[in-house]
Structure 1
Amino acid sequence: MSGPSTLNDINRLGIAFAEAKVVLAAVELGLFTRLGAGPATRDELCAALGLHPRAARDFLTALTCTGLVHHEDGKYAASPAADTYLDKTKPTYGGAFLERANRMMYPAWENLSGLLRTGEPQLAGREDQAAAFEKMMGNPDHLRNFLRMMDAVSGPLAPELATKFDWSAHRTVLDVGGARGNLLAQVLKAHPHLTGTVFDLPPIEPMFDEHIAGFGLTDRARFAGGDAFTTELPAADVVVTGHVLHDWGPAERTELVRRMARAVNPGGALLIYDMLLEPAPADPWNTLISLNMQLLSPGGSEYTLAECEEYLAAAGLSDVDTVRLGDHDTLVIARKPA
């Protein structure tokens, strides 16, 4: 594998955080939403976004170097991808992940050396996992931001999940930690014979009802509230969970998988998707996300397929297949004997 070969290459790699922050600031300031209304001059953008002219020129020039902004005839315009995914007024908006990255990930990564020395999360004021979730659930604005981020992550995976697993022999599906039902809704739309349930923390239910109504699925989808560690999960032919196990350490993952496996009807399947770690990855994305989980939580991290198979074996499931899901996720399919 080739890598940086000159000091300049190494220096550029070392300040990649600066380019990242330019993009995150553009999302925070609503630049792409403003450009969604049409191209604008630098002065127009300064007025619309409240930018100081001293830094605006270099900020916009740096964005053009990323390819997210084009500059022609004195006006700036969003690239097709930025216009599609980073304009908050469009239904295709996927910038909620970057919003959360700006608020939480970026400050935490400043203290990576602290994690490496102590093994402890590094975001200032971070509570333990249960307290952090409880605090977020008590703040509707924070909760909505979190759910939008979950939608941005799960949304692109849902169409693939709908096609890469054979749903024809099943009638019911349960999404554990399914937030406001974004992934479940897309699976149900693709397979009209299915009915489904999202199991998640009770404060999410009103936002689930609102979101599911937007899909026209109130007659086929319902919400069940509770704590997955203490509440009996509703039974279903297929139980799905994604980007949930990585919030917890190995002991908690083992327990959650055991409880989910128990909810699978005989002859059904347990589906787990996450950004599984590889021994020698060509792309560092999953490894970086794993470090990020460790920076933000006391037990969380990504995990390997072998570790996932151990959790499944402890739950009595051994018939395991895997399917690639999206650019970074692996779908692990474990079937329960009839």
Structure 2
Amino acid sequence: MPVNDPITPEPLLQLGLGFMASKTLLSAVELGIFTALAGGGRNRESLAAEVGLHPRSSADFLDALVSLDVLDRDEDGTYRNTAAADLFLDRNKPSYVGGILEMADARLFGFWNNLTDALKTGAPQNEVAHSGAPFFATLSQDPIAWRNFLNGMNGVSTPLAGALAADFDWTGRRHVVDLGGALGAVPAAVLRANPDITGAVFELPPVRPVFEEFVAAHGLADRLAFHGGDFFSDPLPEADVYVMGQILHDWNLEQRRFLLDKAYAALPEGGTLIVYDAMIDDERRRNTYGLMLSLNMLIDTEGGSEYTVTDVTRWLRGAGFRKAEARPLIGGYTAVYATK
């Protein structure tokens, strides 16, 4: 008989203490470690001096990043970015996705300390819990936090935008509007790949200044417009493709159905609504990332959560869409293409 592998506590301890590794990476992003190394390798002393590390912390901190596979260290002690860190965590590259990590460090890391309270009460633990004011209204009053939040959302959307632009057949489409699209990562990716298409973002008015900076930096000011408004109370701009990316998970079931009904009514016949989120697998076993994000929605919203493909397909058919096709994107995200 084969001998069973011994049961050890290491996996449980590693999981329970995972916040240590998480915070190590978040601090590295905050300090600009990867941006400092984007120009080439550096020794510990010069790198520590540039980013402000104390001599007591520098060796253990930088070597921890090596052990986490986000830095490499040569035999002579020179530190370098790994390929992934250099591509995605250098603030000066258009592929930078560290905005979401900056937002997680500034906001979510502290909120998750109150997960137990959220589990017991069902109440959010974010800025609303402290001020009682609506989340976006509160956040937009702090220019730094607001910019970090928008850049964070853009950081999440950037790799998804490229995947979506490549996956969907844009042939014959003329105008795409991203509903709640933050800085416009998705339409920007679509427009870059399809020079005959124009686009717009429908967002709350305080987003406009940061949006305009993003659009100008990407040379799309003549093709990518901004429409200020609230998708619950204002008419939706005309389009033959709407995108709702990481939107439905913010709201409760009644609000989700309202938004899907509204999009269906505004689309022309043959128009498409694209919904993407970190949808949970129907068996609720495999997409750990989606389940963690659903707990984050518990902490950070009043009624939001992630949902399954079966759930959203049922809602879309209830809104009137005659066809809904689900396709995996990247990183635990799924897109559903619904046709009117």
Q: Distance in 2 between matches of 1:107 and 1:46?
A: 26
Q: Distance in 2 between matches of 1:129 and 1:332?
A: 35
**Deviating more after overlay: 223-232 vs 181-190:** 181-190
Report the Cα offset of residue 150 of structure 1. Answer: 1.8
Which residue pairs with 1:12 in the alignment?
14
- The reply on whether 1:205 has 2:208 as its aligned counterpart is yes
- The reply on whether 1:144 has 2:147 as its aligned counterpart is yes
> Out of 281, 284, 289, which is 2:285 matched to?
281
Which residue pairs with 1:309 in the alignment?
313
1:129–1:298 contact (8 Å) kept in structure 2: no
Query: Which one-letter code corresponds to 1:195 in the other structure?
Result: T
**Total equivalences in the alignment:** 334
Which residue pairs with 2:179 in the alignment?
176
Q: Distance in 2 between matches of 1:195 and 1:37?
A: 36
Which residue pairs with 2:35 in the alignment?
33
Q: Distance in 1 between matches of 2:255 and 2:170?
A: 29
Query: Which one-letter code corresponds to 2:60 in the other structure?
Result: D
Q: Over residues 191-247 of structure 1, what are the superposed CA-to-partner deviations in whole Å (9 max), with x where a residue is unaligned?
A: 222222211111222333332233333332221110110001012111111011111
Which residue pairs with 2:324 in the alignment?
320
2:95–2:158 contact (8 Å) kept in structure 1: no
- Give the match's secondary structure for 1:197: strand
Q: Distance in 2 between matches of 1:127 and 1:231?
A: 29
Unaligned runs of 5+ in 1: none
Q: Over residues 71-121 of structure 1, what are the superposed CA-to-partner deviations in whole Å (9 max), with x where a residue is unaligned?
A: 221222221211221122222221111111112221122222212211112
> Out of 90, 94, 100, which is 1:91 matched to?
94
Query: Which one-letter code corresponds to 1:174 in the other structure?
Result: V
Query: Which one-letter code corresponds to 2:225 in the other structure?
Result: R
- Give the match's secondary structure for 1:82: helix
1:249–1:299 contact (8 Å) kept in structure 2: yes
Q: Distance in 2 between matches of 1:129 and 1:169?
A: 46
Which residue pairs with 2:55 in the alignment?
53
Which residue pairs with 2:165 in the alignment?
162
CA gap of 1:166–1:90, structure 2 versus 1, over 3 A, is closer
Q: Distance in 2 between matches of 1:292 and 1:236?
A: 32
Report the Cα offset of residue 15 of structure 1. Answer: 0.9
Query: Which one-letter code corresponds to 1:30 in the other structure?
Result: G
2:297–2:305 contact (8 Å) kept in structure 1: yes
What is the percent sequence identity of the aligned residues?
A: 42
Report the Cα offset of residue 123 of structure 1. Answer: 3.5
Query: Which one-letter code corresponds to 1:14 in the other structure?
Result: G
- Give the match's secondary structure for 1:333: strand
> Out of 255, 258, 262, which is 1:255 matched to?
258
TM-score (structure 2 length as normaliser): 0.91
1:4–1:10 contact (8 Å) kept in structure 2: no
Which residue pairs with 2:267 in the alignment?
264
2:128–2:134 contact (8 Å) kept in structure 1: no
Q: Distance in 2 between matches of 1:199 and 1:215?
A: 18
Q: Distance in 2 between matches of 1:290 and 1:128?
A: 23
Q: Distance in 1 between matches of 2:205 and 2:100?
A: 23
CA gap of 1:188–1:130, structure 2 versus 1, over 3 A, is farther
CA gap of 1:153–1:129, structure 2 versus 1, over 3 A, is farther
Query: Which one-letter code corresponds to 1:40 in the other structure?
Result: R
- Give the match's secondary structure for 1:291: helix
Q: Distance in 2 between matches of 1:131 and 1:256?
A: 19
Q: Distance in 2 between matches of 1:218 and 1:15?
A: 46
TM-score (structure 1 length as normaliser): 0.92
CA gap of 1:155–1:311, structure 2 versus 1, over 3 A, is same
- The reply on whether 1:290 has 2:294 as its aligned counterpart is yes
Unaligned runs of 5+ in 2: none
- Give the match's secondary structure for 2:60: helix
Q: Distance in 1 between matches of 2:132 and 2:205?
A: 17
CA gap of 1:308–1:38, structure 2 versus 1, over 3 A, is same
Q: Over residues 227-269 of structure 1, what are the superposed CA-to-partner deviations in whole Å (9 max), with x where a residue is unaligned?
A: 1100010121111110111111111111111111112111111
| RMSD across aligned positions (CA) | 2.1
**Deviating more after overlay: 72-81 vs 212-221:** 212-221
Report the Cα offset of residue 124 of structure 1. Answer: 6.3
